Structure 1
Amino acid sequence: MIGQGNDNPTHFIDAERRSGSGPAEKEPTISPGTVLNHTHRIEKLVGGGGMGEVYRAHNEVTGQEHAIKIIRYEHANDSRMVELFRREAEILRMIRNDAIVAYEGLFRDERSRLYLVMEFVDGPSLADFITQRPLTVDEVRRLRRRISGGLVAAHDRGVFHRDVSTDNIILPGGRLEDAKIIDFGIAKFADPTVTTMIGSDFAGKLSWVSPEQLGLFGGKIDARSDIYSLGLVLAAAAIGRPLDMGLSMADVMEARRRMLDLSQVPEELRGEISCMLMPDPAARPQSVREFLADPIDEQRSPPHRSRWITLIGLFLLLTGGSGGYYYYHHNRESGQSDWVEIPPPPEIDTAKFQQAVNDVLKTFGCSRLSVGYSRVSGNQVSVSLSGFVSSEADRQQLQQRIASLGYIGEVTVGEVTADAVSVHVWPMCETLLVLEGSATLGAQGAPLIELSHQDGIYREGDFLILNVRMSSRFDGYLNVAFLDAEGSVVHLFPTPRRQENHIKAGGTVVLGTRADQAKPGERYYPVESPFGRNMVIALATPRPLFTQPRSELEPAGPFLEQLRLALATAGENVFATYTFLTTQAADVQPLGVQGAATTNK
């Protein structure tokens, strides 16, 4: 909980107003000309993804060009995203190879957002390059050798990329021999003691992921997963477009269970690429090092140079449209070679099983749950749960009840995982449901909440101070509230003493201060009992959210009921964001960053 001191709650910092009031498509969050930490002058936005934006910047000290990757505003308080960002920096610092984009350092900007400084690679992505023409056989082999060298460097340090794709390979000046791998944002460590924020959750782009990244063939992700994705990249490079890997999830899964059609790949390359695309990782080359041999000699390599040779012409002849596939296995130890057939799994009807699972999900109140299915073998299907429930007991019961379904229809329940199910007690769980039902969460139009404690942990005697920044896309009305696990709501903005809450685009509201620094009438919020997990929400609306001022302190139940009604009539362009924080007694051992990340699941 937070206490309340004095009456005048807020003061303002006016941000520079951008020209125009309407939203702009792909508007950069950093304006060209901005200088970060007196060193890097931003020149232009060159790309972006779900986690961050990438800018070209000029180093004012050295005169070099750099790439700046900065975490998006909407993720600045998301401990999961922040940890992914830190992890990418750690990986790039560990791995030094000419085929991997060079790392310069990890810094914070003036608003405490993390940003990576990297080598600026001026050139097209492989995805863009092959839209002009496919690569020749020799070019594909040279590209394979170059990228394999970078992956070997990563794998030797126990890092698996998990997102090898044509988008993540850049060609400096269009030169294949200088190709570089980028974006280690979702990479995985081989060391089981090193956890990642994604863990065993799905990571990667559906068009490029390996079968095991979808939970097939045991779901173990290692170097062979990158080999499969690299095989898809090489096939795409050879024909000038990606292979058809399915659009629906069912088609995506099915494509990973069978041998892919490489009939349009040049005949000289089919055997070399098809061995990389074996559905079962045990049937693929076990190390990327096998692709570092002289590519000119690949076609006449003796058996000791290559463990696997897949004969596509014979494969097509033998399968005869049966749906199975064959591969040619040469065993180094015995010297024996033989054909091995892997038949496709028979179709099974999962409708009754999925209905039974959905019936279980409906019994949990104050929750939002989704489920993914992976066929392990035969009629056994594993279940992966995600979302949130309102208690740890519910999370455990959810997992147990689905596991106890046993055999339904034609399906036997396999492993049931609930690692991606978070626990949000009431009123936080209901608050999330209200916001998700009527507002756009975490989009570029949403406000940004910046806590004074970046790890999200406040101890007794601390003061809650936060900056809330309005989106640069439009003016609007800002509402900020604090909710605790005891069911109380403290309205931080507006308040009875400061009812005007219309904020200009890009404007920042500073909420709270320290008691010893408070000016007469200025509001401060000391941390006091009860302690636990708390939530701060911020909403931006095109018109006032509530018709009447709300009491500065009120129960969560009536507030959420009124919030639901207000959002239902608020119209379009309603944006919201939220963050969690933990309050602790003064004698509790403080947690580090990893503890904060766990708290904010």
Structure 2
Amino acid sequence: MIESRPSDAFQPGDVLNNTYRIEALLGRGGTSDVYRARSEISGRLAALKVLKSEFSGNDDYLVLLTREEEIREIRHDAVVRYSENHRTQDGLVYLVMDYVEGPGLDKKLAQGPMPADDLLMICRKVTEGLQAAHRRKIVHRDLSPDNIILRDGDPSKPVIIDFGIAKDTNPGAETIVGNEFAGKYAYAAPEQLNGQTDARSDLYSLGALLLANFRGAKPDIGKNPMEVVRKKGEPLDTEGVPEPLKTLIDRMTAPVPDDRFQTAGEVLDFLREQGVAAEGDATVIVPPPKRATPAPTLAADSPQAAPPPPAPEPRRARGGLIAALSALALLLGVLGAYMGGALDGLMAPAYPVSDPFTLDVAKPLDGTPSAMGNVPSDSTRAALTSLMSRHQGSADLTLASGDVADSWGTDVLETLNRLEPLDQWHLKMTGNKASVSGMTRDADLQDRLSDLFLAGFPGALSGEADIRHEPVFLQTAEVARLLDEMADCGPLALPGASPVGFGPDSDIVVTGRVADTVTRVQLFDALRAVAGERNVVLDVEVLNPTLCLIETHLPDAPPGGIVVEYTVGDRNEPNPSGRFFVGENPVIDVVLPADVTEGYLTVSILDVSGNVFHLLPNLNRQDNAIADLRAGRDGEVRVRVAYPLSEAAENGRLAFRVDDSALGKSKVVVLHSVAPLFDGLRPTSESALGYAEALQEDMETDRDSILSLDSRLLVTAAN
């Protein structure tokens, strides 16, 4: 549980709408917080997702929270159950969902490797849950260890939670947190870096998290953005993973989506073939049937056939009473030493071997500490548990044997004593190697601790330490300077930034456009390096170099309410998503509002390949006066600028068919001007650079000529 703050929307004991009594805060997010609550009517526990007050009056966020509520139609015991939205008297909106008790797979990951059989059981049930979601055209998009909870700690009862960024895959559907990249780098499918997501992306993420929990470590995704993009194009390293888990993961995480299992049903078929079968609500591992063989016959001299040797006759010891008393005294002495922990370093109890031998102890900023992993002795476990209890923290520690020094427990406790004064700290142990990070707002404390760890770790430990000094406020100017350095597609903005900077609980929200995915990754990593514990929210659109070139040359004109609409010409079907596949014929209409009656219309499409096609005017259609386009019609008027192939063959107008030579994002740009733009007609097709230079020259001649600018993306993709 997380310690409550006075600024939280609700405090333990509060009752919402005379029904739900708040018991604890479970987690904080960028737009919402999650609480555990109990119904005063039924006594049932529930989790409440509460939209933060600054978003409760925003219609966009309310629509998205309502979309999340609609996921309640998924009925499966491996998917968290949603119920309904409510609004408090103060205007706060919250969503009610089932409360699931148990550890998340992220907690299991921190404790070390999981058995392959447990992971096969988890895979079976989670895949069934995904299948139920995919049947309703809903993709999770953010499947990772922290989004799967083992109900009551049972691997046969996993539950998928947090469909908060789930996306309905129907054309035109909205994404809960916008249409940008969702998912954590370590588990996201390669196509998600480019904003492409479908059901196969969930299968990739599930395979990646299975591998992570088998190894007890996240997938290696590289140390810089270029490595992230490169490694995402390579198969995951499954060397040493036992069958059938290895083949399962390999086929779920192929870098190319077409090479993976295509559906959750195919994953379930594979599991059934491998003997992973379902019984009621549980999943069990059933070995594939084998041909019966005769029972072996043991030879007379076989060790198994030999009878056990007779027990030796006990011999009467001399001085029996004295010897017995001496032995008893020795035994009591040993027991006393053992109970006091004095023999921890000398005795080797028969604890299960853990390789690697790991321990993770952390204290988040303004939160309670936790300790999870392995310890070599009862005394170390008791000391760590006591330390966590003093700070209202939690300890989940497993006694284990491993390749660690005799003084390991004492050395770890001394390391934690050093870290306690910090505002936030994290100790991660693997054997005798330590990784320490921490943050303080006291510059002198940072200097002292950095010097102390530079001189060496306690006892037999070795490792690296990163102690940061972070002021209370992160200066807005520092973040703005970073954005200026990384902007490659027009300016990046910080909406809502305070003049005094970003406080400890502030979100750093960035809006704008970038030229490619690598820039987006670099931007996120650069912000993450200075953000500390603050959330980084990138509401950034990934375009391409051609579109960015034009974006920097487009006039600074307001939108005019002119709408661009798409139709699939081959089938005469509206296409509200704006996504067209190879072989399809995009038809483009421009809809003029009733108040746009004078001036001139210039419509161009900026192609992903670096070319510009002028749809209106062009050599085959030179009249672009709005009065002529209206032809006496009042009200809203539709003007077609790209035609069905069949119609274009008759009237010679422009038409397109998508091929696979250049796929990605194009943009239709509509300019409304007082007078015709440019000095004469532009060619029907020209380079983006030539068009950009012509726009720049025209604006320098008459900056007030352009009345409005409207645009819309058109995305082409492989089938």
| TM superposition score normalised by structure 1 | 0.49
| TM superposition score normalised by structure 2 | 0.41
Of structures 1 and 2, the one scoring higher in RCO (CA 8 A, sep 6+) is 1
